[in-house]
Amino acid sequence: MALRLGDIAPDFTAETSEGKVNFHEYLGNGWGVLFSHPADFTPVCTTELGAVAKLRDEFAKRNTKVIALSVDGLESHKSWIGDINETQHTVVNFPIIADQDRKVSELYDMIHPNSNENFTVRSVFIIGPDKKIKLMITYPASTGRNFDELLRVIDSLQLTANFSVATPANWKQGEDVVVAPAIKTEDIPARFPKGHKVIKPYLRMTPQPDL
């Protein structure tokens, strides 16, 4: 059965470039990003892992751990990391899962035979502290991911987990948010004392409440 939003992220234990990892233990009480790569020593993947390494402080600010995966082996990963560090001018600072037996890839449905039956697609899973899947995105192998967008999504997920709000299209940290429909308009001032604007009865905006 395919995974869906709200499902518990399947747990697993796997060898990684930083030793054996139990996934749920690795995440602890924080947030997590699990993302797969078609193969080691491929150009787009090299830029992606370099981009993630450079965002270490941004993920840390959000109490979020990242972990990558490809179906290549441990020695291949370790050799590839040297190339990533050299070409992307950074240091890979997160584990890369060695998934030669494809156990994790199949657990998370990362291999799409109609795309390529040998390699994983570019899957992304964002997982909350409750170990539930909050977001899933699948990119084709030819398209690199936008990790600034993933940070934006994490900001939205963390905000909306703590307040009765939603984030509108193209929202960024610090911008106004949508008051949840379940809150009556007359109750908004008590819940959101920074003020609000009623655009339509179903569309009420308020400043971001945690700033």
Q: How far apart are the first and last CA of the chain?
A: 41
Q: What is the DSSP letter of 180?
A: P
Q: What's the rounded Cα separation, in Å, for the pair 79 and 101? A: 19
Q: Please say whether the dihedral angle defined by the alpha carbons of residues 168, 173, 177 and 181, taken in this order, is positive or negative.
A: positive
Tell me which of 9, 21, 45, 178 is the catalytic residue: 45
Alpha carbon distances (Å) from 91 to 21, 47, 50, 87, 196 = 20, 12, 8, 10, 45
Structural tokens at position 23 = 């996934």
Q: Is 45 a catalytic site residue?
A: yes
The neighbouring-strand residues paired with 136 are 125
Q: What whole-number distance in Å separates Cα of residue 98 and Cα of residue 72?
A: 6
Task: State both tokens at 181.
Answer: 């429909």
H or E segment and range at residue 94? none
Catalytic residues: 45
